Amino acid sequence: MSAELVHHAGAPLIGICGRVLSFADEGRRDAFSSSQPYSRAVAKAGGLPVLLPPLPTAPRMVDTYLDRLGGLLLPGGGDIEPHRYGREIETDALYGMVGLHDEFDLALVHAAIERDLPVLAICRGMQVLNVSQGGTLIQDLESEGHWMNEHPVVVDGSSRLAEATDSLRLAHCYSVHHQGLDELGAGLVPVAHDEHGLIEAVEYTGATWVVGVQWHPEDTIGVEQGQLGLFREFVRRSAAHAAGSPIRDR
């Protein structure tokens, strides 16, 4: 077993929202899935990743899940159904919409914020975070600049993100998204932008540590220390929450 996947005593459980697959390699059965880089990044940072399967009953079980977790990771995935943020479908570019995923993710983030659980929201996850607080989305950016593309991001020096990454400029931000934030949800503040002014990260002011990034930091933890630093700070916060210890800023 890889050393990064070995469970160390005291490692906090980090819940990662699963996704439904209609076909699994082991046969003609449905499956629950999660992209491996999320779990590998959490494990490398010292956490213990666990899959939260989106069962039909799962949205009613969020408190049972969160009682056992130190932190919550909202991952990427397909688009959010526009009615979740009060809009009609405006483009044919929407893809991968699954109502159960939306319902589960939104229920989890609401409950996590209520109990001040550390949250790291990635790509779709940041969009879920925004929608959960009443924000809206740009349904299609109509640009290839953020679809399977690596680009720099400028970080606000007073942010939790800057503290975690120890950087004001991240050079290796790998993006796979065609949507962006439009109206910001209540309590969310932008803390990073790309060179064109697109919001690349947000933080929620009503909680101790809730950070959303539009790119995929898990994909470049091996080439930029700040990307791994984000996961390490997330796991550090999660460990303190699980232990019931006061959160100490560095």
Catalytic (active-site) positions? 123, 216, 218
Domain spans, the chain: 13-235
Q: How confident is the model at residue 31 (pLDDT cuts 50, 70, 90)?
A: confident
pLDDT in tens, 194-218: 998 999 999 999 999 999 999 999 9
Q: What is the pLDDT of residue 146?
A: 83
Q: What is the mean pLDDT of residues 49-67?
A: 93
Topology of the domain covering 13-235 = Rossmann fold (3.40.50)
Q: What is the pLDDT of residue 7?
A: 45
Reply yes or no on whether the pLDDT at 250 is more than 80.
Answer: no
Of 239, 237, 235, 199, nearest to 4 by C-alpha is 235
